[in-house]
Amino acid sequence: MSDNRSIQVHVFRMNISTEIDRDIWHNLQEPGSYEWWYFDAEDQEQDLSFVCIWFAGFAFSPYYMDHYLDWKKNGSAPPEVLDYAAFSFQLYENGHETVNFIKEGRSSLFESSGSTIEVRFENNRFYYDPEQQSYILDIAFDFPARRQKVTARLVFTVKHRYSYRKNDENNHGNVPHHEWILALPRADVSGSLILEDTLKKKTRTIAVRAKGYHDHNLGLMPVHEYISTWYWGRAFSDMYDLVYYVISFKNSGYKPLALCMLHDNAAKELMVHEGLSVETSGIRCGLFVPVHSPELSFFLDDFRIDIEQRQVLDSGPFYLRYVSNIVLNNDGKRRVKLVGISEFLSPGRLKLPLLRFFIRCRVWRDGTRSKMYDRYNFFKTCLHWLKR
């Protein structure tokens, strides 16, 4: 069971930090609070990538949102954050989804001490080994709706870390608390994935040698109440590693937070470009895809990055995850090309009841039967078999 001690966050503003000590569970208890630990990796030789996330308060859960909005409107009992713990795992091969698993449940499925870096949801666990300078991910879940079973041990070994901190100074720092902890901007990832088709009784083992990334987000109120749009991405190359982070706030009087961290791998130096201007080009939208720009540019003086959406990996009513082509111009002359993973969030769409209804198709809520979930996954399973 999880520890019920409340670890207080004393500074109520938006923080960015790289301090590994912040990577613990914070036991946030305010209704609408959220916390998640994100890991991804790309194995370019096999054209394979995966993303796995642990949630203590699933910020994008339609069930959590329904409970929160009912509490705000009708004064019902407030939602307990850990009653909406979750775990998600997505695997992409050759640019297409192989596994897309999201399970949510009550606090009994979640465990963390709050004093060391380790989190568990059911049989899916990660922890940090300081002696090995590595995060170890042990994954084991059944996915009956897709006739799949996945087990894995994946080791994220530190390649390099950054040292950086920034506070949001909008409204003199008196803003809702959100924290982005860039715990591991670059890792060497090794291990294996075992994929089992439980209907056809076939098993496949994938050896993983990849480049990886890990960060951690937390906040004391629902994302949709203060963030309008959120662009994030990272890319690796022999010359540079790059992470960008651009948030626009619901309060139009607040200045957007736009920055890019650029690590020179030869010089082993970190350059942080803050206060970037943002340009967007083109508009795409749809009922199940948020309004977004497939082409972005961030620039300041002689620094510029141009980002192009190349291939969508995953999409939903409020977010996109995609492979991106990135062109970096760091001194007004040199152009460097990178390829990475990017994401876009439009959290306000979570307030729309119709879209929350459809998001339920993707989320397995423990102890809750959903015909929409069953039908959606039956269709996806049939489609997957037809494509193979």
For residue 129, give the CATH number of its domain.
2.40.370.10
Whether pLDDT at 330 is above 60: yes
pLDDT tens-digit readout, 81-130? 999 999 999 999 999 999 999 999 999 999 999 999 999 999 999 999 99
Q: Indicate if 2 and 32 belong to the same structural domain.
A: yes
Rounded Cα gap, residues 18 and 11, in angstroms: 16
Q: Give the rounded percent of residues in the chain with a pLDDT score beyond 70.
A: 91
Q: Indicate if 146 and 271 belong to the same structural domain.
A: no
Query: Which residue in the block uniquely carries the two structure tokens 């003199």?
Result: 172
**The tokens of 277 are what?**
């201007």
Three-class SS state of 106:
coil
Q: Indicate if 221 and 114 belong to the same structural domain.
A: yes
Number of neighbours of residue 72 by Cβ within 10 angstroms = 14
Q: Indicate if 147 and 250 belong to the same structural domain.
A: no
Which helix or strand (DSSP H or E) is residue 384 part of? Answer: helix 371-387
| Least confident segment among 65-74, 199-208, 249-258, 279-288 | 279-288
Q: Indicate if 182 and 67 belong to the same structural domain.
A: yes
Q: Indicate if 221 and 232 belong to the same structural domain.
A: no
Say what the pTM is.
0.93
Task: Please state the domain count of the chain.
Answer: 2
Q: What residue type is assigned to position 184 of the chain?
A: L
Whether pLDDT at 355 is above 50: yes
Rounded Cα gap, residues 165 and 188, in angstroms: 24
Q: Indicate if 11 and 153 belong to the same structural domain.
A: yes
Q: Is 376 exposed, middle or buried (0-12, 13-18, 19+ CB in 10 A)?
A: middle
Q: H helices within the chain, ranges in order?
A: 62-74, 353-359, 371-387
Which helix or strand (DSSP H or E) is residue 274 part of? Answer: strand 269-274
Rounded Cα gap, residues 13 and 168, in angstroms: 6
Instruction: Band the pLDDT of 148: cuts 50, 70, 90.
Output: very high
Domain extent for 304 = 226-348
Q: Indicate if 43 and 19 belong to the same structural domain.
A: yes
Asked whether the beta carbons of 164 and 269 are under 8 A apart, the reply is no
Q: Indicate if 64 and 12 belong to the same structural domain.
A: yes
Whether pLDDT at 272 is above 60: yes
pLDDT of residue 287: 65
Q: What residue type is assigned to position 169 of the chain?
A: E
Q: Indicate if 221 and 163 belong to the same structural domain.
A: yes
Q: Indicate if 219 and 134 belong to the same structural domain.
A: yes
Q: Indicate if 386 and 322 belong to the same structural domain.
A: no
Whether pLDDT at 12 is above 60: no
